[in-house]
Amino acid sequence: MVFEESLLFASGAGSNYRIPSVVADAHGTFYAFCNDRRGTLSDAAPEVFLAFSRKKPGGEWETPRPLVGIPEWACSMGSAVYDRITDTVMCCGEKIPVQRREFGHYSADELEKIREEADRRSKALGIRYGRFLLSTSDGGESFAESPHEIEPREFVHRDGRTVLLGGSCHGSAHGIQLRHGPHAGRLLCPSRTQAGQYASWDELRANTYNNALWSDDHGKTWHASSPVQLGTGEGTLIERADGTILYNSRAYFRDGLRYLALSRDSGESWGDFRADGFLREETFCGCNASFLRIERDELADDSLLPGSADGLTLFVNPRSEKRENMTVCWSFDGGESWAGEKTVFPGLCSYSSLDYSKELDRFVLLYECGEEDPCDGGVAAAEFDLAWLFS
């Protein structure tokens, strides 16, 4: 039985670590990414570095270091994904030379001035701004950077406008690689998008959607899917045994529910919208969560699973009406029903990211934690096995 815990990204000395994403490769190395918001915890931090750590088999977590950082720029990460075919770990992000406020309307003139200032700062440093993709094929020894360009999807919004929806993975969970069906090998990442500006919670619910980004050429080109339910924002997804994709979303309805959507075309479109009756959510504005499915033959030891189980599905979030009580819930039928739950951390907590290594028979859960605020302490790493989870 294994359970180990440490504060991997410890906030302090001007660093405020948030928005974790962790993936494991086929060799048992875990790769941990998060944001280092310099000088403030605010979502509108004007200076953000993309931080990184890794843990090789038999080793300890390495001292965190910045992968991308430009003074007075927000270099925020999106989500990580592992391509087992090319043995490549990728992490997407965005370089923003001029930070915009999230809530509030901008006129066309104001947007133009922001673009002009961004162009000026970019040219002054000779640095391209916008979305980027980091990739490593040597176990994290080095990372290459390339543009992360996304082909948008045309969609008719609820007000009748036809809009082009792209996507941003910021705040969403890590991506997956499909194993079943005609698009086996596809990379699929949860993302979010918006059809208009918002300055209130009502406008937020009326203009935001979760969707997905997919790539069939190992990350060279990316495409936006159609959206899931209106009013969702930040999500996570799994592939089921039958090849369908289940999307689990944070939403802004303040009802304490997680929202589900299903895709039968490898993540290009979504339907069967509903809420999960078992999973609980923070009731102020929801929270990012983790969703992971491991097929039976991917587990190092499946003897603890019921004989009828086709695999193991785990969902992790603060299981409370506020951001506290980081809890793992498990399912043996792809998230249709839930068989149990266990608390990992009972205190204040927020975003999380979970992955599993068959080579080590080990789960790694990254989660934000704090004392006065759910994320003022930094990002902790909890490592455990199935024997501990089911004990």
pLDDT tens-digit readout, 288-345: 999 999 999 999 999 999 999 999 999 999 999 999 999 999 999 999 999 999 999 9
E strand or H helix at 149: none
Per-residue pLDDT for 46 more than 90? yes
Share of the chain above pLDDT 90, in %: 99
Predicted pLDDT of residue 102 = 87
Q: Kindly indicate the confidence band of residue 101, based on its pLDDT and cuts at 50, 70 and 90.
A: confident
Torsion of Cα atoms, 131 then 76 then 117 then 148, to 10°: 0
Mean pLDDT of 169-197: 96
Predicted pLDDT of residue 134 = 98
Tens-digit pLDDT profile for residues 313-323: 999 999 999 99
Question: What three-state secondary structure class fits 7?
Answer: strand
Predicted pLDDT of residue 161 = 95
Tens-digit pLDDT profile for residues 142-165: 999 999 999 999 999 999 999 999
Tell me what the pLDDT averaged over the chain comes to: 97
User: Which tokens is 299 given?
Assistant: 């587990």
Tens-digit pLDDT profile for residues 210-262: 999 999 999 999 999 999 999 999 999 999 999 999 999 999 999 999 999 99
Question: Number of helices (H) and strands (E), helices first, in the chain?
Answer: 3, 26
Per-residue pLDDT for 30 more than 90? yes
Whole-number Å distance between alpha carbons of 19 and 99: 17
- The Cβ of residue 105 has, within 10 Å, a number of other Cβ atoms equal to 11
Cβ partners under 8 Å of residue 329, min gap 6: 278, 279, 314, 315, 316, 319, 338, 340, 341
Whole-number Å distance between alpha carbons of 178 and 328: 23
Mean pLDDT of 102-130: 95
Whole-number Å distance between alpha carbons of 7 and 218: 33
Whole-number Å distance between alpha carbons of 35 and 69: 10
Nearest by Cα to 296 from 282, 309, 277? 309
Contact 333, 307 (CB under 8 A): no
Tens-digit pLDDT profile for residues 266-285: 999 999 999 999 999 999 99
Whole-number Å distance between alpha carbons of 243 and 369: 35
User: Which tokens is 268 given?
Assistant: 């290009």
Whole-number Å distance between alpha carbons of 171 and 77: 8
CA distance from start to end of the chain: 9
Whole-number Å distance between alpha carbons of 155 and 162: 6
- Predicted TM-score (pTM) of this structure: 0.97
Nearest by Cα to 106 from 192, 231, 198? 198
Contact 122, 128 (CB under 8 A): yes
Predicted pLDDT of residue 307 = 95
Beta bridge partners of 367: 352, 380
